[in-house]
A and B are shown apart, each in its own frame.
Chain A
Amino acid sequence: DQQVKQNSPSLSVQEGRISILNCDYTNSMFDYFLWYKKYPAEGPTFLISISSIKDKNEDGRFTVFLNKSAKHLSLHIVPSQPGDSAVYFCAASGLGGATNKLIFGTGTLLAVQP
């Protein structure tokens, strides 16, 4: 039961270009979406998030877009830098319960080529 899906296991882009990472979800009850970045041998680190009542959130080089009707979100990184090379996880939250666990996608490995 994959409620959050990242269909591209990997993505390679040139330094300075735009990276677009995609995520789809199936449960319309999610009300918050997050992107986490993970380097090897480290835990996931929070990158950016968006509430379901918004369609865009921007933080520096990172922008997340949400299309609720399509149950789709994307993370744009502009311009991409070699240090952005990592696994990016899409996560969703808000299914209720006291602690609002995160439901993660399978991740996309981004490689930014110098």
Chain B
Amino acid sequence: EPEVTQTPSHQVTQMGQEVILRCVPISNHLYFYWYRQILGQKVEFLVSFYNNEISEKSEIFDDQFSVERPDGSNFTLKIRSTKLEDSAMYFCASRSTGTPNTEAFFGQGTRLTVV
């Protein structure tokens, strides 16, 4: 069964450092997303990406965040200068279409710990 894969599973970084979280979406999917879940809180939307550009972003997704699909298979989330409050589980998701009734497939997540 096709799946979304994320690396690394756990990343520890110093405050102020840059991190790149990587995702390989399902190969024939066209819509890509990043969500995050701070411990004990709800899963929150960060950004959606389609046709090589950001389609929508939340207020969390400020200038410190960027996304890229550098080679047609990977989808990355970069945080330029990490803050303590960026510590969370980050989930990548992909869908074949952007219609509401299309299932979103999630990766297993990357746990980011900023110290």
Contacts and interface: CB of A to CB of B under 8 A. Distances in A.
B106 A32 contact: no
Interface residues of A, number: 27
A23 B83 CA distance: 32
Contacts of A51: 101
Interface residues of B, number: 29
B109 A99 contact: no
Interface in B11-63: 31, 33, 35, 41-45, 48-50, 55-56
B88 to A, nearest CB: 13
A60 interface: no
Interface in B75-108: 91, 93, 95, 98-101, 103-108
Interface string A74-93: 00000000000000010101
Contacts of A94: 100
Most buried by B among A44, A89, A105: A44
A42 B100 contact: no
A29 B101 CA distance: 15
A106 B45 CA distance: 13
Contacts of A106: 41-42
Interface in A46-104: 46, 49, 51, 89, 91, 93-94, 97-104
Interface of B: 4, 6, 31, 33, 35, 41-45, 48-50, 55-56, 91, 93, 95, 98-101, 103-109
26 contacts: A31-B100, A32-B100, A32-B101, A41-B108, A42-B108, A43-B91, A43-B106, A44-B91, A45-B106, A46-B104, A46-B105, A49-B101, A94-B100, A97-B48, A98-B48, A98-B50, A99-B49, A99-B50, A99-B95, A100-B98, A101-B33, A101-B45, A104-B42, A104-B43, A106-B42, A107-B42
Interface of A: 31-32, 34, 36, 41-46, 49, 51, 89, 91, 93-94, 97-107
